[in-house]
Each structure stands twice: as C-alpha cells, then as structure tokens.
Amino acid sequence: MRPAPAILILAAGASSRMGDRDKLLETVDGTPLILRAARAACANSAEVIVTLPTGEMSRRAWLTDLPLRIVDVSNLAMSASIRAGVAVCAADAILIHLADMPEVGADDLATLIHAWQRSDAPILRATAQDGRPGQPVIFDRSLFPALSSLDGDRGAKALIAEMDAEQVPLPEERALTDLDTPAAWAEWRSRTGRPF
C-alpha cells in the first residue's frame, strides 16, 4: 500500500470576481473557507502545504495554529502555486486541493487518499457522483517534473487528460462545487440551506 500523499491547498488566488470580498474568508457553518480546507487537510496528511499571496495577512491569520507549511507566491496564476508547492513537497505524491470548494471535507479527502493507497495509477481524480471530472487530484512524484513546468492559469488539465487519470466519485457534486462570485455564494447558500 502506498503512503498518504502530501496535501497542497491552492489559496493564492486574488478572488477578483468577488468584488471587495475574499471568497476564502466566506464562512460555511461559522468557519472561514480557508480554515475549513486546512483543517480537513491536516486531518488527513502529515504534510500540508498552503500557497498564499506574498504579504497577504487575512487568510494567513486563520492558519497560524495549524501544523502546516505556508508558501508565499508572488505570481497569482494557478501554475505558480502548483510549482511552489511541488518544490517543497517531501512526500511521494501530492493531492492538489482548491481552497474554494466548500463541499469537499475531511471525509472526501480520506476517500481519495484511501483509493490512492490501493491504486497504482500515477494520477487519481475526484469526480461528481455521476462521473463528471472534478477536484481534488492526486499526482505521483514521477509527475512532479511535469507539474514543475506548468505555466499560466490552467493548472494541470492537459497533464490529467494526457495520463488518463483514475477516477474516484465523491457524493453528489462535491467535486465540482467551487464558488467564485457573490451570486454563486448566494445561490449555493439558498440551495443548500448552509448557514454563514
């Protein structure tokens, strides 16, 4: 059985579509999204890495008491965060988790990690219950050079497509739900009944 991967939380985005609000400080069940993602990661891995914008203090303040490593990123493109996280990763694999996914919790990360440990695939990807591809994604160390050469804001989509990732379904649409605008947050809260 393979060891558990490190978990890289991508939290360096600018939240530009949120206006004057930071989507990672939006609360779900009374907890800021950044803290919720970090706690879920820390419950599942001994190596948790979080990328944050250089000099950003509001998100960082929520993470000070957790056993994780913060990596500052000056370039806010997703690929820069992936490169920075992979560069400091000591584990034999890395689970890349987008911080703005309010429905992915500790149990979902555990499901992915357990599937990874029983698999020999180089990439494992979460899907919605109906099989639509989503996030998070786990990459074997053999793919770190490819991850380290990514550029732009498209992440690792081409690499995932090229390698034909093994898919693991999560309940409902958890692997697809990311909220980038005030309207998306309002619609999600209305639909799910989840409190602030």
DSSP per-residue string spanning 77-130: SHHHHHHHHHHH--SSEEEEEETT-TT--HHHHHHHHHHHHH---SEEEEE-TT
Distance (Å, whole) CA 11 – CA 24 = 8
Placement of tokens 């960082």 in the chain:
60
Tokens for 88? 């400091």
Digit-coded pLDDT (tens) for 32-84: 999 999 999 999 999 999 999 998 899 999 999 999 999 999 877 888 999 99
Residue 127 bridge partners (DSSP): 133, 169
Placement of tokens 């820390």 in the chain:
42
Distance (Å, whole) CA 158 – CA 137 = 13
Q: Do residues 181 and 17 make contact, with C-beta atoms less than 8 angstroms apart?
A: yes
Digit-coded pLDDT (tens) for 79-113: 899 999 999 999 999 999 999 999 999 999 999 99
Tokens for 112? 């992915």
Amino acid at 64: T
Domains of the chain, CATH where assigned: 6-192 (3.90.550.10)
pTM, rounded to two decimals: 0.94
Q: Do residues 168 and 131 make contact, with C-beta atoms less than 8 angstroms apart?
A: no
